[in-house]
Amino acid sequence: MPTGFQSFDQLRSNRNNFVYVDKTAYVYEIASNEFPQILTRPRRFGKSTLLSTVKELFLHGLEPCDGQTESYFKGLAIEKLWRDDGHYLVLHLDFNEINSDCTTAAAFEQLLMNYVTAFCREHNIDLAKKLIAEPQRFRELFSAMLELVPNRSLVLLLDEYDSPLHYHCDNEQELEICRFLMRGIFSAIKRHSNKFRCIFFTGVTRFQDLDLGSAGNNFTDLSFEKGFAACCGYTRDELKQYFAQQLRYATAVREKCAPEAVSDAQVEKLLNEMSDWYDGYSFSGAQNIKVFSPWSVLRFFSNEDALVQPYWSNEVGNGIPQVLKIALDRLDLPQLINDASVGDIEIDSNQFQQSSLLNPKANSSSLLFQTGYLTLCEPFITSGKLHLRCPNKEIRLAFANLLARHFFNLEEDICSPESSSKAVLALISLDPDKIRAYFNQILSAISYSNFNITNEAAVANFVSVLLFGAELKPRNEVLSSLGRADCVIDLPRYKLTVVFEYKFESSSNPKKLEQKLEEAVVQVKKREYGDNATSEPRVARFALVFCAAPKVRKFFHVSLVDIINRA
């Protein structure tokens, strides 16, 4: 499995034995277009490999190179499509790599200038013909280089173009240097468009989101195009075609039999389970074009036991920290949980398009989409409402842990692949002791030096995140005819709805705790919580009292108030 390898020539070298999923039909479309193009996808989705493939195509075409006996493109889709025999100047810039050791925007700009100067020396581009003195800014150097190269000779490939902007987005002075630099690049591309054979940028956030003005309005954004929905990530058909051997072996491990004894039905069963965990990403909204996370699939097949594990949360759960931190800081946690539980997260499409990393009033959902925690549920539209959701179990689990770490300052994950069965078993038991033990076991993970539960709302938020990570659908503050239930959880498989009424007590005084419990029980009965909040035939209503005293800090009382049978 090519985990950790992104370069097309490494993947296709006959000295290696890596699986390569053929995406060159998309590369052909990108390379055939002479207008500037940009593609945004979450991290670890194959953007760098796609860009590396474009680079190799323009460097060597379909000819063998690097001592290979055959072209790297031998047997791939593009071999029958590509007719361009020209070899081009290819300037490939990886902003994430260049920026990795820079603490300031000025340092990044200097390294970028060094890189382009070296490129000019390598290709005998004499900058002295255009520059009297050493350039002080990158835009001056870049423009001079463009004036010197022949028309239609240059291929500009820019990977993670938004990396330095993300890195400095919380420092206005540094950020402005980055934005000035990026505006210079986009403006130079506009002025010297005749110099380029191909321009292709990749990143996580769109340049519109970074307030670069009209500098990039000549770019074609491929990010939501249906024709490019599967250019990164793996479709189910691609898994069956390129990973047939790995699928059979993984199935054999799970079924405890020899690979040759594995049936097609057993492979499909594994694919269905993998789909629940890793599939569901939609970048056009078309329901028939969804992709698996490539990083998760590769990690899955690299695991000797072939167990479904949340690789996203283990390896890249923080995505790009700056973008996620800003998204989480803007997040209305109760509203997010409620929206995700009731159905999809709804957002105005204009707000989605105009959302900016730098606008504090912008909706956080668009940033969560761009970092891979939400995905489109329907085709992208330019007006009206868009609907987003977590794509799969892995992301739902990673998202719950991310929310818990951010809002409760936890140092370890509280949700696991086993969370769902534990939560369901506790709830359907209708046993107050089992429910209390389940919640209190998770609460023990909280470091109260980092997060102290100080009110009823904090209790409700914590429980909601926990249940959300367990694949349940908690709804907070559910309106009934006589009041609002603190939490309602539907369990359709068991034809059951569970209703929670929370009370908070800062003292460990037994009489006060007992009094709070009595208040909760009376409130549940009086206000008929849950009566019109569900269509399930059974409603079980509980009163819970959280004790916040320093030596307790747990649910002290959990009481089953009653069970309503509607049948």
Q: pLDDT (tens digit, 9 = 90+) per residue, 168-222?
A: 888 889 989 998 999 999 999 999 999 999 999 999 888 777 777 677 788 999 9
CB 393 within 8 A of CB 471: yes
| Beta-strand pair 496-505/538-547 | parallel
pLDDT at 356: 75
209 or 328, which is more confident: 328
User: Where does the pLDDT of residue 457 fall: very low under 50, low under 70, confident under 90, or very high at 90 and above?
Assistant: confident
3-class DSSP assignment, residue 200: strand
pLDDT: is 532 or 194 the higher one?
A: 194
* pLDDT grade for 318, boundaries at 50, 70 and 90: very low
Q: Is the dihedral of CA 363, 369, 371, 374 positive or negative?
A: positive
pLDDT of residue 319: 47
**Higher per-residue pLDDT: 108 or 101:** 108
Say what the pLDDT of residue 444 is.
80
pLDDT higher at 189 or 313: 189
| β-pairing verdict for 484-491 and 496-505 | antiparallel
Question: Order of strands across the sheet with 375-376?
Answer: 345-348, 385-389, 375-376
The dotted CATH code for 8-228 is: 3.40.50
CA–CA distance, 427 with 536 (Å, rounded to integer) = 15
Looking at the predicted structure, is the pLDDT value of residue 69 above 90? no
Contact in structure between 370 and 355 (CB atoms under 8 Å):
no
Quote the pTM value. Answer: 0.90
Helix, strand, coil percentages, rounded to 5, for the chain: 45, 15, 40
- Could you give the CA distance from residue 32 to residue 329 in angstroms, rounded to a whole number? 42
For range 460-467, the mean pLDDT = 89
The predicted pLDDT at position 315 comes to: 46
The per-residue pLDDT for 307 is 61
Confidence of residue 424 (pLDDT cuts 50, 70, 90): very high
- pLDDT band with cut points at 50, 70 and 90 for residue 321: low
Q: Which residue type is seen at 499?
A: V
Host H or E run for residue 38: strand 37-40
Which of 309, 291, 298, 312 has its CA nearest to residue 238? 291
Mean pLDDT of the chain: 88
Q: pLDDT tier at 431 (50, 70, 90 boundaries)?
A: very high
Segment 134-174, tens digit of pLDDT: 888 999 999 999 999 999 999 999 999 999 988 888 888 99
Q: Are 344 and 377 in contact (CB under 8 A)?
A: yes
What count of residues does the chain have? 567
Domain with CATH 3.40.50 in the chain: 8-228
Of 54, 41, 12, nearest in space to 2 by CA = 12
Per-residue pLDDT tens over the stretch 248-271: 999 998 899 999 999 999 999 999
Asked if residue 34 lies in contact with residue 232, where contact means CB atoms within 8 angstroms, the answer is no
Lowest mean pLDDT among 37-41, 283-287, 315-319, 557-561: 315-319
Name 385's bridge partners. Answer: 348
Q: What is the pLDDT of residue 449?
A: 67
Q: What is the mean pLDDT of residues 481-494?
A: 85
* Statement: residue 308 has pLDDT above 70: no
